[in-house]
Amino acid sequence: MSQTALADQAAPPEASIKAKPLVRVRDLKVAFVSRDATVQAVNGVNFDLAHGEVLTILGESGSGKSVTMRALMRLLPKRARLSGEIQIDGDDVIAMSPQSLSDMRGRDVGMIFQEPMVAFDPVFSVGAQIAETVQRHMGKSRADGLKRALELFDLVQIPSPERRLAAYPHELSGGMRQRAMIALALACSPKLLLADEPTTALDATVQIQILLLLRQLQRDLGMSVIFVTHDVGVATEIADRMVVMYGGRMVETGGVAQVIRSPAHPYTRGLLSSTVHGASRGTRLEAIPGSPPDMSDPPPGCAFAPRCQLATPECTAGPPPPIDLAPGHTARCIRPSHPE
């Protein structure tokens, strides 16, 4: 399926960002401090997420997208230094007590981790782990928790759900474990679902099944979703809006159709050019030269300048500000293209 066709499928939500979004992030910064170096993994991220909206964060490994996700739930190691503003449904996440954070995780915010084999406890059945979550956050009995787990297994289309409830994580295939992880994340009907590259370890056939399932569940349940990926095809399949990250910053944001059809930042154009699609058959892919920046010693100015064919001395003077290209479409570049 072509990128344009995928963009057409992911139509923007009927309403624009509401006055009071479900998620509000301002000047988010995350640094990892060690004896030898300080790595600025996220550097000034800003975005809003509306109720019922799907936002995809796209970028290479090391761009800061997964760290941004974990920061929303404060699932960062002790050596991390977190600053800025994170609000979820009006609650200040950074100021939350450990007890309040524990209550929020799983109840208001669910998370699908990249590798479910690591996320599940190997010594308990998957059904028991989902039931425990329901007991903890919804005050239900174990019997009610198992009943809820069975409903969720049916919802995520796990075959023979009664038998799978008693299965241990290693007894399930990769696709079934991922579906069970989705069931666990949805156990308490969260308002917000965070999906951290949940299809990376799956083959192409299972991947599209999981993507279609997630999109259908999102629409049926009215959830807001933030979906992290490095795959352009995955991003266009599931998102309403897209954020492209590089070097810990958001370099381009906009509706899926805007970003795919009219990429303005050189990095976004490079990602699209290096992606296999129907129109690229028989042609050589245009790989982005160079490597992602070392964020313990980032380059001056625009982090993408050392790899950018359009870079000028002005690009190294300082981080470029975001430029509005069209309603809802911005790029952080001093020389953005203006195809719209």
Whether 144 and 150 have beta carbons less than 8 Å apart is answered as no
Q: What is the largest CA-CA distance in the chain?
A: 66
123-to-130, 187, 279 alpha-carbon distances in Å: 14, 20, 48
pLDDT in tens, 211-267: 888 888 898 888 999 999 888 888 888 889 999 999 999 999 999 999 999 999 999
Please enumerate in sequence order all residues whose Cβ is within 8 A of that of 9, keeping only pairs 6 or more positions apart, or say none.
236, 237
- Rounded Cα distance, 27 and 302, in Å: 17
pTM over 0.85: yes
- Residue 16 tokens, joined: 């624009």
Mean pLDDT on 298-324: 91
Beta bridge partners of 226: 55, 194
Asked if pLDDT for residue 199 goes beyond 50, the answer is: yes
- Residue 83 tokens, joined: 């600053």
User: Does residue 329 sit in helix, strand or coil?
Assistant: strand
pLDDT in tens, 142-194: 999 999 999 999 988 899 999 999 999 999 988 889 889 999 999 998 999 99
Mean pLDDT on 101-109: 93
Please enumerate in sequence order all residues whose Cβ is within 8 A of that of 84, keeping only pairs 6 or more positions apart, or say none.
25, 26, 27, 28, 29, 44, 45, 94
- Rounded Cα distance, 39 and 30, in Å: 9
Asked if pLDDT for residue 24 goes beyond 70, the answer is: yes
Q: Given CA atoms 291, 293, 297, 303 in this order, what sign does their dihedral have?
A: positive
CATH number for 1-108+194-340: choose from 3.40.50.970, 2.40.110.10, 3.40.50.170, 3.40.50.300.
Answer: 3.40.50.300
Give the pLDDT of residue 308. Answer: 92
Give the pLDDT of residue 201. Answer: 67
Q: Are strands 329-331 and 249-255 parallel, antiparallel or unpaired?
A: antiparallel
Give me the residue spans of the domains in the chain. 1-108+194-340, 112-189
When pLDDT is cut at 50, 70 and 90, the band that residue 276 belongs to is low
User: Does residue 28 sit in helix, strand or coil?
Assistant: strand
When pLDDT is cut at 50, 70 and 90, the band that residue 274 belongs to is confident
Give the pLDDT of residue 238. Answer: 86
